A = this chain, B = another copy of it.
Amino acid sequence: MALTVSRTATGREFKVKDIAQADFGRLEIELAEVEMPGLMACRAEFGPTQPLKGARITGSLHMTIQTAVLIETLTALGAEVRWCSCNIFSTQDAAAAAIARDSAAVFAWKGETLEEYWWCTEKALDWGPGSGPDLIVDDGGDATLLIHEGVKAEEEYERSGKLPNPNETENAEFRIVLSIIKEGLLIDPKRYTRMKDRLVGVSEETTTGVKRLYQMQANGTLLFPAINVNDSVTKSKFDNLYGCRHSLPDGLMRATDVMIAGKIAVVCGYGDVGKGCAAALKAAGARVIVTEIDPICALQALMEGIPVLTLEDMVAEADIFVTTTGNKDIIMVSHMKQMKNNAIVCNIGHFDNEIDMLGLETYPGIKRITIKPQTDRWIFPETNRGIIVLAEGRLMNLGCATGHPSFVMSCSFTNQVIAQLELWKERGSGKYEKKVYVLPKHLDEKVASLHLGKLGAKLTKLTPDQAAYISVPVEGPYKPPHYRY
């Protein structure tokens, strides 16, 4: 693995696929800016006072065109930024090139190996010898994980002199994490400890990363404050739902050109992501079946006319399978071998363990034909039937298409900007402990407000009398915290 870092004329580091794509990336970024009114409003409101001046931000979040607009919003507010992607297939190389050339240190390209992926993550956290970021923008929690595992290893090393042993884990990816930490330890045995000491906090983007944070909070192992951006209404009820409603069919079409109408599609999980996926497939004319563990979500599916069955019930009949659970071991190789010829199997959840890719890869006699990148046909020897797996079981909307569209990402990323502003502003106040926080509702409502004008919407104003009648301030927030939207 010969990974070398390049530098711009001004000396900023980067490693991208092709810096020559920067012009194309810039054109796409300019289009996206028009679709991201929340971020542009942040630039207008906060740019003049440079509230992020002095803040070093590391981001680990899909290096797409939309993320480019986020990064340049952070820099417009005064921050210095280093960035990596949080998925090996999700980088849009032109976006990476434009940002690398113009705005921030970027380490990301489409189609990284896992070794390369973690090298990029480490680079994004590397602010020079003995130094680290003040703030983290995380998606899935890999940057946070690396620091937490690094600190754990450094503490163990200090205590017992023991280095982490990559061979102790069966998980191939975690083995790489431990190797990186081990190599680092030999050079600087306090690197991650200093990093966590410096860190003001992290804002986390997605369900899966948030779940990890709450686990650490519950275990008392969380090392710095965290803002759970995922559970802003303007994130999880928009990005997860409407983003996936857009990007699931986009990924399916670009990868396979399959006609969705008339097909039977199984959506595993009916949370916000699953709801978006099911809605899109239904709208396109598929017959959708949902699998669920949660009786409430199951009943919601039924009220929308969607049957709730088990994967086993449908495995031999369905044409398209989508996992959206955030859990693991959802579609196993034993399921896949029962599927119809050319059944399409994909995952739109964050991690690649919803589909049993290991089981598939190691199935005796299996044959893999790559139709095109991120579209593989796997043929079972017994039946000679093939199934089509998208994006190697990873985030199919980012691997096979371009992810969520700008407008909905503007909602999500405006929450990120507000969270970063809040963490940085309160860095010395003690307001945030080593816990997980959500943004207050008035900020959530503000994020929504910033997106209404673009769509020509006009809000009704409460009279003081009406506000008093329903016991809310005229200016909001309008709902109690438990309100579900």
Contacts and interface: CB of A to CB of B under 8 A. Distances in A.
Interface string A404-437: 1111100100000000000000000000000000
Contact of A458 (B308, B369, B448): B308
A295 B438 CA distance: 18
Nearest to A247: B253
A317 B326 CA distance: 33
Interface stretch (A3-11, A81-89, A233-241): A233-241
A258 interface: yes
A309 B298 CA distance: 25
A451 interface: yes
Contact of A445 (B237, B294, B411): B294
Kindly report how many copies of this chain are found in the complex they form together: 4
Given A287-B305, A293-B462, A299-B234, A263 B34 contact: no
Question: What is the interface residue range for chain A against chain B?
Answer: 35 or more
A151 interface: no
Interface stretch (A24-32, A72-80, A110-118): A24-32
Interface string A459-480: 1111101100111000010111
A485 B341 contact: no
A101 interface: no
Nearest to A407: B259
B294 A307 contact: no
Contacts of A328: 465-466, 469
B342 A31 contact: yes
Nearest to A250: B253
Interface stretch (A162-170, A183-191, A192-200, A277-285): A277-285
A292 B459 contact: yes
20 contacts: A27-B377, A28-B371, A34-B342, A231-B482, A233-B296, A245-B261, A246-B260, A246-B284, A257-B405, A258-B406, A285-B303, A293-B478, A295-B449, A298-B459, A299-B455, A307-B456, A310-B459, A311-B460, A327-B469, A328-B469
Interface of A: 24, 27-28, 31-32, 34-35, 65, 211, 214-215, 218, 231, 233-234, 236-238, 241-242, 245-246, 249-250, 253-254, 256-264, 272, 280, 282-288, 291-300, 302-311, 313, 317, 326-329, 341-342, 369, 371-372, 377, 388, 401-402, 404-408, 411, 438, 444-446, 448-449, 451-452, 454-463, 465-466, 469-471, 476, 478-482, 484-485
Closest CB pairs A-B (n = 7): A283-B283, A259-B405, A295-B448, A259-B407, A308-B457, A295-B449, A484-B484
